Amino acid sequence: MATNASTVPIGWTNLTRIDVAMDRHFRHVDDQRLWLFGAPVVLVLGTIGNLLCIAVLLRKKLRAQSWCWYLIALAVVDLVALYTTTLDWWIRSLTGVYIGQISPGTCILEIFLTFLADHFSAWILVAVACERVFYIYFPVQSKGMCTRKCSFIVIAVIGFVLILLNLHIIWSADLKERHGAWSCFLNKEFSLSWSWIDMCFASLFPFVAMAMANGFLIKKLSKLKTSPNGNMRSKNRQLIVMILTVTVAFVLLTLPLQITIVVLIAQTKIDPDDTETINKMHSAVRGAQFIHQFNSVINFVLYYASNSRFRKELKDWWCSSSSTYHSRTNRDT
């Protein structure tokens, strides 16, 4: 149950980014209602959208392209994020209990998957944007480098590095009694240092890499207008626009959470007794966390809106699936 907005727990002066990110307590009834009614919508739309992305991108014509496998991996990671974060928030708003409270094992698993999914989605987008830059600027060399095999290797390396980066959670996460309830947190000695590491790997470094890659893509986009090959020019332009759209959407949907967390922590250090402002900032963080979840929902819409090949393959997949379903129905009857 959400607490009254006039009450703020003791000890905010030692707050870290990770404490805020993992805190599952509602401090205003409106925060609880947002997740109670909004989370199911996000879950349903995100699940359908990501499954459709996987189904379409796995079609024969698209899965031959190296960039498709990055987007398939992104859809899988987005599904993991939805069912470790959005589902957890909904259960918390509905029952007052969240997954991490069940046992030390679920606490570790939830935190590990939550951070891994956040980091993975960011670096997959960096990888696909950089791959497109390499493909466009170095067309000869890209024939041997921008392949499905290379994309598998890149995804595997990213996953391996990020698993190692988050491996400390196994021994640093645990259930702790805080504010009169059991909650899942990192040990204090890890929390402060991990706050900076997480900010760098989930936001700062990916944002800088995406900005640089997007700059190169935008520069090339203007030159494609004069390309002699009309069909290839159109495909490259649409793919560049799609990558730009997805990466910009990622920044716009994830940046508010980083900003509100930093502002909240600054407020708790400047004036920890200003309970009204701190609770308002907590509500802002909850709202930003809700917006953040749309990062795992919106990609299907962006692919559909920006790429005609994706739209065509979706239509062909739907027609093929419908035809198969009707033929099976007729045989059964």
Domains in the chain and their CATH numbers? 12-313 (1.20.1070.10)
- Whether pLDDT at 228 is above 70: no
- φ, ψ dihedrals at 11, nearest 5°: 100, 20
| CB-count burial class (<10 Å; 0-12, 13-18, 19+) for 244 | buried
Pick the range with the lowest mean pLDDT from 85-89, 175-179, 201-205.
175-179
Which comes out higher in pLDDT, residue 143 or 156? 156
Tell me, what's the pLDDT at 73? 97
Write down the pLDDT at residue 25. Answer: 61
> Residue 224: pLDDT above 70?
no
- Residue pLDDT, tens place only, 284-299: 888 888 999 999 999 9
Mean pLDDT, the chain, rounded, equals: 82
Cα separation, 87 vs 95, in Å, equals 12
As beta bridge partners, residue 173 has 186
- How far from 224 is each of 27, 227, 229, 230, 241, CA to CA, in Å? 52, 5, 9, 9, 12
Q: Is the pLDDT of residue 202 over 60?
A: yes
Q: What is the mean pLDDT of residues 110-128?
A: 93
End-to-end CA distance of the chain: 52
Q: Which residues contact 274 (CB under 8 A, 6 or more apart)?
A: 267
Give the mean pLDDT of 167-177: 81
The residue with greater pLDDT, 61 or 45, is: 45
- Strand ranges (DSSP E) for the chain? 173-178, 181-186
User: Under a CB-based contact definition with an 8 Å cutoff, are residues 116 and 198 in contact?
Assistant: no
Task: Extract the runs of DSSP E, i.e. beta strands, from 100-153.
Answer: none
Contact 70, 124 (CB under 8 A): yes
| Ramachandran bin of 179, using left for φ above 0, alpha for ψ from -120 to 50, beta for the remaining angles | left
Residue 8 has pLDDT above 50, yes or no: no
Question: In 3-state terms, what secondary structure has residue 15?
Answer: coil
Higher pLDDT, 331 or 211: 211
- The pLDDT of residue 161: 96
Q: Which two tokens stand for residue 125?
A: 């987008």
Task: Please state the rounded mean pLDDT for residues 240-251.
Answer: 91
* Range among 153-162, 193-202, 272-281, 303-312 with highest mean pLDDT value: 153-162
Residues 64, 67, 69, 72: what is their CA dihedral angle, to the nearest 10 degrees? -120
Distance CA(164)–CA(168), nearest Å, equals 8
269 or 305: which carries more pLDDT confidence? 305
Extract the tokens encoding 147: 């392949």
Cα–Cα distance measured from residue 28 to residue 16, given in angstroms and rounded to the nearest whole number = 21
Give the pLDDT of residue 5: 35
**pLDDT at residue 6 tops 70:** no
Contact 3, 30 (CB under 8 A): no
**Contacts of residue 119, Cβ cutoff 8 Å, sequence gap at least 6:** 162, 165, 166, 198, 201, 202
pLDDT higher than threshold 70 for residue 85 = yes
**pTM of the shown model:** 0.85
Does the pLDDT at position 186 exceed 60? Answer: yes
pLDDT at 12 over 50: no
Confidence (pLDDT) at 70:
96
Looking at 6-10, 34-38, 314-318, which range is the least confident one?
Answer: 6-10
- Count the Cβ atoms, other than its own, within 10 Å of residue 252: 13
Share of the chain above pLDDT 70, in %: 82
Q: What is the pLDDT of residue 176?
A: 72
Does position 221 have pLDDT exceeding 70, yes or no? yes
Question: Quick one: average pLDDT of 179-190?
Answer: 68
Does 13 score more than 50 pLDDT?
Answer: no
Render 248-301 in DSSP notation, one character per residue.
HHHHHHHHHHHHHHHHHHHHHHH-TT-HHHHHHHHHHHHHHHHHHHGGGTTHHH
The residues facing 183 across adjacent strands are: 176
Question: pLDDT confidence of 257, banded at 50, 70, 90?
Answer: confident
d(CA 132, CA 113): 28
